Chains A and B, each alone.
Chain A
């Protein structure tokens, strides 16, 4: 996916972060990802991806609230930037356009 500069795993993480909204911090994203996909990944792996996304400018992060269960330490909440949203949409559009050209399935798909 060179065109969108977005990897497969990156896209998934970005989407999960979008779903979680203001609870999108590394631990929650990891758990949500597992719930959605059944795949077990480490927090570190997810965090590493988030860090990369942040460097690309698709998300931004800020320290948020803290809870007792975290030993009073704040969470780092990741929010999707406008650029991130556009990239997600681009990725989707790109796939759609590809799917539409796919001979067997062309015209038979309805995504709306």
Chain B
């Protein structure tokens, strides 16, 4: 009957079975085959083939196509079943489920918190409408033989830029740095932080006004105040037109109220903006400047004109300052450039005239930590899944025997892992919500979970499902493929490959952990190192008061006497800047034998004669100031660094010229750390300031309770100085703040490192329980043959210890490189010794051993009769 061996086109048959309803499969394919062979007999083979195709395609009709929508109840039941079995699997293996969920949720918590932190860091200055057009003019200057970057500029530069380079800018705005001033309205006098700015400030930074106009600063007697300042002084009434005074002498009327500048801004905390012209008119020092281009006390902000590029404009204005300098000042070779607003916060470190990052380093660092921690948690999940796969194999075998499709098994495993991940995610959200306040405290942030951001949630859930799919991929894909026969015979063993993958993951986890431990240890050593640095004076019981007034200066002796008599203070002195900072520097210092090409900046500090005694500095050579020796008003005390720079064999008695005025060096004082405790001390000289210093330093009598002493000081202070509010700082606290950034990083690093270690340990904890279980019989046999508990324990633990040792071998060089690089950015730094990595390695080995031993010891102690009988 069959003359030809031709069968219907295979492709068409395949296609037919792809779409055809299952219940129609038999009769339809029968019909088509019958027709095919009839046609083949009667006509030609080709004709039959073509017809077959036509018939198949003609079957693509709604009625014949397999419908998924017909089965929803069945599917729902199936998913319900997956859900139930997943829950049952978790219940059965409580330990594994707990490890999985705990590990994952810790990982996610870290990721979410780091995500929030990064989001906050990236949001700086973004709320300004002209965000991408604003820049600040900075200068690279060559001083003490190296290129430094200065954030401030001389005041005539603003006009220079406006007049000669005006077409590059929409606005050029000169401002002072934010500084505290006494702001008074009627009887209310408080210290408020604010700036003096040129009129365009409001326009450039698009201040959002509640009352009045942001343009009002053109009027010299006006002031713009922040919403919170308005609330403090005027409660709810409209303050526009009210008369206030700044630093008692400047009388201004409120011309507008602006919304507080957000926290994520350099200008956060600026509560009043007064006209720069007012400062110029009122304070003689700007007007009467001997060399206006010499001092660099102001900030300069610009708005770039349309179509102007930051780099191009930077190149154009590069020499705008240099052209106006005397030959002597030109030695510093100031090169101006524009620092765009989008780099203010994250890219603000300059070294040798180049930008070298800044906070962005930490953003990357933490982002990497976040990614690693999540990866580690995922690895745990995968590891435990693969480890358990040998047990699950039987389940798969039985399911398959009963008639489960492979696709159903895949779905089951995936739904199990996705369910676990989602549970972990919910737990993580809870933990984040609870721990955010603590985190914010440590990180100095006000981060919050964005509950209302729908897209973010979409991403988060998508991310969870992705993790679930990745983590569940091994059991889903591999395990579902095994034949039931193999699985049920009990001979199923996870492939060699999966054991390797497991080992690699453990090594990766511990490499990350060890690296983080070393990194954290180095951060802390570095902070401690800087804290232990001799700072040159006594901070305990020293309080700093910003006086800013002649009244205090006039009455300082009376105040001292009155407070000394009641034994409240030991001494009180005056200075022109806080002890913890140095505000003024000068390069107009000459001495015999000075290299004429050298330009050195000396920090200088005007003090009262008893300053050194009050702060407790240490004289290394010569003597301290003495108020009874008249010639001391033309004398310098220099610090050791300055003495070294000058290169005198015996500095005491030498003469130094300051603006051509001869000053006699009467003493050398040990270096006082006044700037960053991580940087070298600057060459500094001290001289007796006859005028008001601006800052008072009280040394409280150590026998006095601090609170009472403060009250007494305030009372006496107010008596002689009724115009000024009494605000003070403890010098030791102010000094401690210098470590703020590093300490924050250190604390965060500790938290993240401990969590990373926790996750790694969870992982090996789970793995060791599994290995111990798997090797029960082996251990039993070994014990029957005389192995001791210790030997068995050693044998089982050794595998893990090996992995951790490998991890240490990888981590130590990596961590060494990373930390050396980090440490080297501080001039005053530790050298990363071999002790830290070794300690870290020993610590992690100990932790591993303890973790693993929990199960291995149990396994080793088990009665071999029990373990061998089991079957």
Contacts and interface: CB of A to CB of B under 8 A. Distances in A.
A67 B30 CA distance: 9
Given A42-B54, A43-B58, A48 B63 contact: yes
Contacts of A47: 24, 28, 31, 59, 63-64
B61 interface: yes
B628 interface: no
A44 interface: yes
Contacts of A26: 27-28, 31
A71 B30 contact: yes
A67 B1 CA distance: 13
A45 B31 CA distance: 13
B32 interface: yes
A75 B33 contact: no
Nearest to B7: A71
Nearest to B63: A51
Interface string B33-76: 11101100000000000000011001111111000000000000
Contact of A73 (B33, B38, B59): B33
A27 interface: yes
A101 B61 CA distance: 40
A34 B801 CA distance: 82
Interface string A79-92: 00000000000000
Indicate the member of B26, B29, B60 with the most A CB atoms within 10 Å: B26
Given A44-B58, A76-B27, A52 B34 contact: no
A57 B142 CA distance: 99
Contacts of B54: 42
A63 interface: yes
Contacts of B33: 69-71, 73
Given A48-B64, A69-B38, A43 B59 contact: yes
A56 to B, nearest CB: 13
Q: Label chain A's interface by main secondary structure.
A: helix
A96 B721 CA distance: 122
Size category, A interface: 20 to 34
Contacts of A63: 26-27
A71 B8 CA distance: 11
A74 interface: yes
B58 A45 contact: yes
Contacts of B38: 69
Given A27-B35, A69-B1, A69-B34, A44 B29 contact: no
B60 A75 contact: no
Contacts of B35: 27, 43
A51 B35 CA distance: 20
Contacts of B60: 44
Interface in B326-341: none
Interface in A51-78: 51-52, 63, 66-71, 73-76
A25 B31 contact: yes
Contacts of B26: 63, 73-74
A52 to B, nearest CB: 7
Contacts of B34: 27, 67, 69-70
Contact of B30 (A42, A48, A75): A75
A19 B469 CA distance: 58
A37 B157 CA distance: 101
Chain B interface extent, by class: 20 to 34
Given A43-B55, A44-B55, A75 B31 contact: yes
Main secondary structure of the interface of B (DSSP, over half): helix
A25 to B, nearest CB: 7
A30 to B, nearest CB: 8
A27 B27 CA distance: 10
A67 B55 CA distance: 20
Nearest to B62: A48
A44 B61 contact: yes
B32 A25 contact: no
A8 B525 CA distance: 94
A63 B28 CA distance: 11
B52 to A, nearest CB: 10
A43 B32 contact: yes
A71 B35 CA distance: 11
Contacts of B29: 71, 73
A67 B38 CA distance: 13
B58 A73 contact: no
Contacts of A66: 30
Given A27-B34, A48-B61, A69-B34, A42 B55 contact: yes
A44 B59 contact: yes
Contacts of A48: 61-64
B64 A44 contact: yes
Contacts of B28: 26, 43, 47
Nearest to B35: A27
A27 B34 CA distance: 8
Contacts of A68: 1
A71 B54 CA distance: 20
A74 B60 CA distance: 21
Contacts of B30: 66, 70-71, 73-75
Contacts of A76: 24, 27
Contacts of A75: 27, 30-31
Contacts of A25: 27, 31
B58 A42 contact: yes
A68 B33 CA distance: 10
B27 A73 contact: yes
Nearest to B25: A73
A73 B36 CA distance: 14
A76 B34 CA distance: 13
Nearest to B59: A44
Nearest to A72: B30
A70 B32 CA distance: 8
Contacts of A51: 63-64
B56 to A, nearest CB: 8
A66 B26 CA distance: 10
A40 B499 CA distance: 64
Nearest to A76: B27
A71 B38 CA distance: 13
A21 B35 CA distance: 19
A14 B172 CA distance: 92
A44 B57 CA distance: 8
Nearest to B8: A71
Of B1, B30, B37, chain A has the most CB atoms within 10 Å of the CB of: B30
Interface string A16-29: 00000000011100
A25 B66 CA distance: 21
B37 A43 contact: no
Nearest to B41: A69
Contacts of B31: 25-27, 43, 47, 70, 75
A52 B62 CA distance: 11
B78 to A, nearest CB: 27
Contacts of A44: 55, 58-61, 64
Interface string B9-32: 000000000000000101111111
Interface in B64-112: 64
B27 to A, nearest CB: 4
Residue among A27, A63, A76 having the largest count of chain B Cβ atoms under 10 Å:
A27
A42 B57 CA distance: 9
B37 A69 contact: yes
B748 to A, nearest CB: 68
A74 B63 contact: no
A67 to B, nearest CB: 7
A89 B33 CA distance: 35
8 contacts: A26-B27, A43-B28, A45-B58, A48-B63, A51-B64, A63-B26, A66-B30, A75-B27
Given A45-B61, A75-B27, A76-B27, 14 more contacts: A25-B31, A26-B28, A42-B54, A44-B61, A47-B31, A47-B59, A47-B64, A63-B27, A67-B34, A70-B33, A70-B34, A71-B30, A74-B30, A75-B30
Shortest Cβ-Cβ A-B pairs, 3 listed: A73-B30, A42-B58, A76-B27
